[in-house]
A and B are shown apart, each in its own frame.
Chain A
Amino acid sequence: MDYFEPKTVSEALSLLDQHGDQAEVIAGGTDVMVDIKYSDEPGCLVNIKRIPDLNAIRESNGGVHIGPLATIHELEESDLVRERLPLLWQAAHQFASLQIRNTATIGGNICRASPSGETLAPLLVLEAQAEVTFSDGARTEPFGAFFQGPGQTSLGSRGLLTGISVPFPAAGSHAVYLKHAVRGPMDIAMVGVAVMATANGDKTALDDVRIGLGAVAPTPVRAPKTEALVSGKALDAALVKEAGASAASESSPITDQRSSGEYRGWIVDALTRRGLEQCWQALTGKEVA
């Protein structure tokens, strides 16, 4: 197995062009190293960790620019993320153990494109944009288009994720990320639900409700029907119940060794209800009645 440590993005891209499917990009290594141990080695490893300036977290154009090499712990430690992107902060905070957070990068979490990736549903809800770069140029696209299937992204084998742009959520919005796993943060999510909303002027209804679901479809997904169901409405117990069931019906979870698809559906229902209730309470100061 060959090993490369490109010093620039263009050097990395030319290596990817040269080696195509044979190349595996590595940054934090928390997934790739495990894969190498348990399956066949890739033809070559392209370690992008040494490319400078790809780990910045800074304010930019009404939002936050995040470099893909920023570690999950750097997100967790960033005041900017904590104060302005609390949804992403919560996901980072519930992400595995500190040891993993210290080495895993947000770019790795995204490019792995595992449906259960902790930061993915929050990025969808935050309507963040991926900056993807190929040897012939760069473009930005929404993460909804970026994720194409389990382990599949629009990068293919020749692109690099070079930046993540997250717009600031509307002033006064509230968001929660709820993760369900047998062992809590120390485990891969069985279901992750991100809910973000604002309240109308007199705090009698929710506006712009966004719901993202992780680990219950081939890619992280939004739940648009459920979002439409509750947006512009006052939450009561019946509507919350309806919303939970609706979100479950918008998911398509699989059955595997961790749990049945049926159970994952129940959890989407439960966590969506919980997320909506928490947003309602935070935004209106009232319990859902």
Chain B
Amino acid sequence: MAKAEYTVLGTDMPRKGGVERVVGKGVYGIDLNLPDALSGGVLRSEHAHAKIVNIDTSEAKAIPGVRAVVTAADAPDVRYGRSYIDRYILAKDKVRYMGDPVAAVAADSQALVKEALGKIKVTYEPLPVVVDPEETMKESAPTIHEDMPLPKNLPEGVQVKNVCGYAAVNIGDAEAAMAEADVVVDEVYETKMIHPQYLEPRIAAARPEEDGRITVWANAQAPFPVRTEVASLTGLPLNSVRVISTGIGGGFGGKGSGVTSSAGLEPICALLALTAKQPVMIVMDKAEETISTTIRSGCKIWIKTGAKKDGTLVARQGKVVYDAGGYSGFGNQAGGRCTQMVGGWYRLPNIHMDGFTVYTNKQVCGPVRGPGGPQATFAMESHMDSLAAELGMDPIEFRLKNVPEKGDGIVGVPKLRDSSLAETLNTAKEKIGWGKVKLGKNQGIGFATGAWIEGAGPGGGAVVKMNEDGSATVHIGKVDYGTAAPFGIPMIVAEVLGISTDDVTVLNVDTDASPWDAGTVGSRSMLVSGNAVKLAAEDARDQILRMAAGQLEASPEDLEIVDRQIQVKGAPSRSVSLASVCNAGHNEIGDVIGRGYFDSKASQADERERGSSQPFTTHAALVEVDADTGNVKILKYVAVHDVGFVVHPKAVEGQIEGAAAMSLGQALCEQVVHDSDGRTLNPTFVDYLMPTINMLPRIEAVTVSGYPGAGPYGTKGAGEIGSVPPMACIANAIYNATGVRVRRLPLSPENVLRALREAGK
């Protein structure tokens, strides 16, 4: 789309709230300063799997200044969960990972909290621990949840245990078609757990109010699901719980509590506040976060694909074992998505995949940036390179041979109305210089494609309330997470209403006032709140133009708003100020309040009818491998994306760079390391290796256009897809450089050198 079509959209206006963040104003959860708040803290299990025989809190309660000590016995006998309702607010009867919350304390100071936590005596009866997702499925493994049934959709005759989710892909007849293939490649891949490691710690604060209600502050991505959990786990009705979103210093899905049903910090804080009858605030410690909050799971992936000599894909079979951890959390959703994505996004008529999501004695799976996708793609796109090598084909040509086109279906999408995959491949090839760059010793180029299918999900609303000076106050249900709320949302409102983004205030979420929303997850902020706010702004504009029409003696259709003036199209001298109309509105219709709702069902029906346009991407990397140490240096990195219409180019670029950097961390060094007892060996940033700036290349983000998506003005989600290809991309570049295929993450110096030595290099 030509930029000239729009005044505001397509520009790089500064982030709303950006200056405050840069200069260190108190915008984050941790900056919250509640008068008279007690400090709160959580006692966490020191066993990965054990029966709780007894909890003695008497000594802790006796400490002067300790105002509340709570255990599961102090809460209603209610469990929570998403696919499996398998978790209490605090562990009851059993603990299932090291870090599982067992009790909580509120006291006058942090030091007293620490002291009191140390005085709670928990008697455990240790049980056998299982940390390996393959082992847990065996008959001999300990049972992690005694009263949770196997999934209802498990195929007949499958003998497994500790399985809490099953997903299948069945397209065509993979077994028969495999027999017809000229070339078959069969491989196994493995990824490790990583923690999202947002820099701002998780917080929760809760204040009991005079009227019996409770106010909860959370730096969570999903305030409404948090409200649901707080209400259910403390026994309050929803209208007695108010959740206010603070600013958020990164979350990447890790702060999706309520959505993941696996962190429980806000309900625990609320229980403490209700017990103490005083405000309580809990701030988590980094090491506590790393061992106890939700993570991107590790998984093992078996993938076998057959192709014709000319490179045409004919069949794929495979299996995924996905680690949910001690509770089901988001495991079933992420494991299911992973299973689908191992099926791929190429033209492939015969696919059979089995996906098992399993309980282990580890921390719980959350919806971390592209849940399931980066792991699936590490396997699937590495495997595509292995196939290309086996066929003796150029990896780009091989992929181009199999890209889906308009009218094709891919896993999870019955019909595409267009396909940008080929364009992203060709652009990446060009930008990285494939076939043109002269490669030095141990240098190589790798590619990997990616997709992030925009799945079904709930809709959401928006309210645009006009003020009498022509400015607008906007309510949406998505939190300010550095994405749509401070960029796309004010830009859409400004565009529709002919005002500046400075005239638009987007309120952070307050469940008492904001429209309901499922959570700021799934790359859906623009799709849901963007579509809703566009409709809401248009509704407000229509109300304004109807009022102005009388004053200007014109029909509303002939009016436009330009730079806060309402004018007759083609006769700009016939105008009246937006402010005067909004002001006059008080005497006519009360407030000008525009309302909009993204109708998810209608949108999905439309996409089925017309076919959908999905975001696709190709990343390319040039690396150099140190054959003596196994160290991999990324010399150049290109990320080509179709994200539909680009509302704010810099914000999109930032999303792509951030997502790629996050997965490059998992590619090169990140992992949560457990011992066989289920203890996390690297809980702090000294030992948990996040990539530092000296490891990361400049990421050249490139967008292709002409494939409008289902979002407002044709946007597509951009927050997660950038995290999908990097691991496979680097693995493929290492293969190109050395001829050695590394099938286990991370591609750390040790794993790479070991693979080189095993290959005799």
Q: Which residues of A contact B (CB under 8 A)?
A: 34, 38, 180, 182-188, 256-260, 263, 266-267, 270-271, 273-274
Contacts and interface: CB of A to CB of B under 8 A. Distances in A.
Given A263-B750, A274-B628, A184 B686 contact: no
Contacts of B628: 270, 273-274
B695 A183 contact: yes
B629 A180 contact: yes
A183 B669 contact: yes
B749 interface: yes
A259 B753 CA distance: 12
Dominant SS among interface residues on chain A: helix
Interface string B680-718: 011010110101101100000000000000000000000
Given A257-B682, A274-B628, A182 B753 contact: no
A263 B756 CA distance: 12
Contact of A186 (B668, B684, B692, B750): B692
B629 A184 contact: no
B179 interface: no
B605 to A, nearest CB: 49
Contacts, number: 47
B694 A184 contact: yes
Contacts of A256: 681
A257 B694 contact: no
Interface size class of B (residues with CB under 8 A): 20 to 34
A187 B748 CA distance: 14
Contacts of B757: 266
B177 interface: no
Contacts of B668: 182
Contacts of A182: 668-669, 689, 748-749
Contacts of B749: 180, 182, 263
B160 interface: no
B753 A187 contact: no
Contacts of A258: 687
Contacts of A271: 629
Given A182-B668, A274-B628, A263 B753 contact: yes
Given A182-B748, A182-B749, 7 more contacts: A180-B629, A182-B668, A183-B695, A186-B694, A187-B692, A256-B681, A259-B750
Contacts of B687: 257-258
A256 to B, nearest CB: 8
B426 to A, nearest CB: 34
A267 B689 contact: no
Contacts of A186: 692, 694
Across the A-B interface, give the 5 residue pairs with the lowest CB-CB distance, nearest first: A270-B628, A257-B681, A263-B750, A186-B692, A257-B673
B682 A183 contact: no
A34 B686 contact: yes
18 contacts: A180-B629, A180-B749, A182-B668, A182-B669, A182-B749, A183-B689, A183-B691, A184-B695, A186-B694, A187-B689, A188-B686, A256-B681, A257-B673, A257-B681, A257-B682, A258-B687, A263-B750, A271-B629
Contacts of B753: 263, 266
Nearest to A244: B628
A116 B631 CA distance: 19
A92 to B, nearest CB: 17
A257 B688 CA distance: 9
Nearest to B749: A182
Nearest to A184: B694
Contacts of A180: 629, 631, 749
A271 to B, nearest CB: 8
Q: Max chain B CB contacts within 10 Å: which of A182, A186, A259, A266?
A: A182
B629 A270 contact: yes
A259 B681 CA distance: 12
A267 B748 CA distance: 13
Nearest to B681: A257
B287 interface: yes
Nearest to B683: A38
B754 interface: yes
Nearest to A37: B285
A257 B672 CA distance: 9
A34 B285 CA distance: 13
Nearest to B695: A183
B692 A183 contact: yes
Interface in B537-593: none
A114 to B, nearest CB: 11
Interface string B282-312: 0000010000000000000000000000000
A246 B692 CA distance: 33
Contacts of A267: 629
A198 to B, nearest CB: 25
A103 to B, nearest CB: 16
Nearest to A263: B750
Nearest to A259: B750
Q: Max chain A CB contacts within 10 Å: which of B669, B750, B753, B757?
A: B750
Contacts of B691: 183
A267 B753 CA distance: 10
Given A38-B287, A183-B689, A270-B628, A260 B695 contact: no
A276 to B, nearest CB: 13
B341 to A, nearest CB: 28
Interface in B127-148: none
A257 B689 CA distance: 11
Contacts of B684: 34, 38
Contacts of B287: 38
A185 B757 CA distance: 26
